[in-house]
Amino acid sequence: MSVSIRSAAKVAMMTGALFTAACSQTSGDAQKPRQEFSIGWSIYAGWMPWPYAQQAGIVKKWADKYGIKINVVQVNDYVESVNQYTAGKLDGVTVANMDALTIPAAGGKDTSAIIVGDYSNGNDGIMLKGASDLKAIKGQTVNLVELSVSHYLLARGLGTVGLSLKDVKTVNTADADIVGAFASPDVKAAVAWNPQLSVMKTQAGAKEVFSSADIPGEILDLLAVDTATLKANPKLGKALAGIWYETVALMKRQDAQGKAARAAMAKLAGSTPEAFDNQLTTTYLYADPKAAVAATASPSLITTMTRVRDFSFSKGLFKGATSADAVGMAFPGGKTLGDPQHVTLRFDDSFMKLAAQGKL
């Protein structure tokens, strides 16, 4: 299973141009009711319910209920999927919270996260050779995808042992190359995500010293939709919520039907059922909409997004901004973070609430 996700570095410099394209392509139509929509996805364990739902007829069932058509579109590269959404070629996309902030939102594209689908609960980790304590990383060179959630995880981990990014040197390493790099005798420290992380754990003398399980709820995987499109077409949000919760409920079942659904998702991901199930153990899926609503309304989400935006700003991912407050965010209950006059990332729990109330 190849997971090429969460690489803000590759797109941070493109957001301005992409947003210009987004404005020219969508602003004229976004406020008008529409009948057909496209949602992009890329391969990741927590996002496989979307293509499976299309294959199983669940997408059509919910789209038909609301009199619309939803195209669930695979984009082979995660970065490209977010690029396409930002440029207005997709109405929605599966995206990590950090990337939703640093790519479309930082570029000025008003984006609503309508489904908090899961959080990484061990899918991302810091690996060391010849040491079992994170403190041993001080002074070392660390291979990772720079300016990605791996970089964020490293910063968070270092902070827990009284260190900072100044105490290490980072080397930008593509996710496709990270396993090979860590196999080199010269590389003693690395940060990675699954499935590469699971391979690195098998190397002799390697030890995971910090993981996303130590910061639960901080690396979130979302379904984000263009805010103007959603406002003009609330049926889209309702249908998407219906699709998600029906599919995840099936996926979580421990009977023959649940097993068959997971096996089909594994095949769609180019994986085996065993490997796919293993990745699900480190992916906390919000199968219950009530739990997702509670997580979205929790003050801890604002704390998380404060950390994410401060890190992102410090690394230059808010191009042209003079303050971390430049990109405004909105949360349930009217709470905001950053500039309330320039909100471009909204955590909208209204459709998850309808699912929780059985009102879809």
Instruction: Write down all domains in the chain, each with its CATH number in brackets.
Output: 8-119+219-356 (3.40.190.10), 124-214 (3.40.190.10)
Q: Are strands 220-226 and 343-347 parallel, antiparallel or unpaired?
A: unpaired
- Give the orientation angle of helix 58-65 with respect to helix 234-252, to 10 degrees: 150
Dig out the tokens for 289 from the structure: 């909409």
Residue 73's H or E segment, with its range, is strand 69-74
The SS3 call for residue 144 is strand
Residues (pLDDT < 70) of the chain are 1-31
pLDDT of residue 32: 83
**What pLDDT does 76 receive?**
86
Q: Which two tokens stand for residue 208?
A: 């995971």
Compute the distance between CA of residue 146 and CA of residue 152 in angstroms, rounded to an integer. Answer: 9
Q: Report the pLDDT value the prediction gives residue 176, as an integer from 0 to 100.
A: 85
Query: What confidence score (pLDDT) does residue 19 get?
Result: 42
The separation between the first and the last C-alpha atoms of the chain, rounded to the nearest angstrom, is 33
Amino acid at 280: L
Give 272's contacts (C-beta < 8 A, 6+ positions apart): 266
Q: What does the block give as tokens for 159?
A: 């902070």
Contact 238, 66 (CB under 8 A): yes
What radius of gyration do the chain's Cα atoms show? 20
**Which DSSP helix (H) or strand (E) runs through 296?**
helix 289-297
pLDDT given at position 226: 99
- pTM value > 0.85: yes
